[in-house]
Amino acid sequence: MAKGNSAAIRYDTIKSMQVGRLTHVAQVCGVDVYVHWSVFAIGVLILVGAIRSPYLSFIGVAAYLGLLILHESGHLMMARRRGYQTFSMALYPIFGLASFEAPDSRIDRALIAWGGVLAQAVVAVPLTLYIILAGYTAFEPLNAVLAILGGYSLLVAAFNLLPFRPLDGSKAWDIIPAWLEQRRMRRNQPPLAYRSQR
């Protein structure tokens, strides 16, 4: 199937899934962001349940949604970097979905799967190191952000790398055999000068 055709089919599938269940909330780097209605419902329940500290609860929910956006943006940025068209992201209570053109190669699928975890790591590792070296602050909302985007994010990333579907690890760990295959193919190609003489 041609690259363009797979993109059209993938995009149509995503658009049909969005009807009635997702709300368009923003656009990040030219990509539409949709949120499932249950995310709003859970957010309201958390805020109502935290009457004593609604501000802290709001910050916690916002940091968690930020974590989902960060992860899905990582997939989309890697897809763009590998030359694929990106369409949208959808956020659900415990996961997100990034919509992009279907990758043509095994290594591209693996790299795009790693994109989400790498985006999380870029933020989580420095925050976790800060917490380890300096400790938490006296400001509770900031501590919630540090904990969610730091240590919690690393735990989520590690869990997401388990090699089971539908987790990213089911595709991400394919990078090792894909890289070895690509390396073997390059090694078996005759030198450029030899090929041009034939």
pLDDT, tens digit (0-9, with 9 covering 90-100), for 136-191: 999 988 998 999 999 999 999 999 999 988 889 999 998 888 888 878 887 877 76
- pLDDT tens-digit profile of 16-28? 454 458 888 888 7
Which pLDDT value is given to residue 3? 45
Number of residues that this document lists for the chain: 198
For the chain, how many helices (H) and strands (E)?
9, 4
Nearest to 163 by CA among 151, 176, 174: 174
Judge whether residue 125 has pLDDT over 90.
yes
pLDDT band at 195; cut points 50, 70, 90: low
Query: pTM of the full predicted structure?
Result: 0.78
Beta strands of 10-70 (E only): which ranges?
22-28, 31-36
Provide the token pair at 154: 């690393």
The stretch 19-41 carries a mean pLDDT of 80
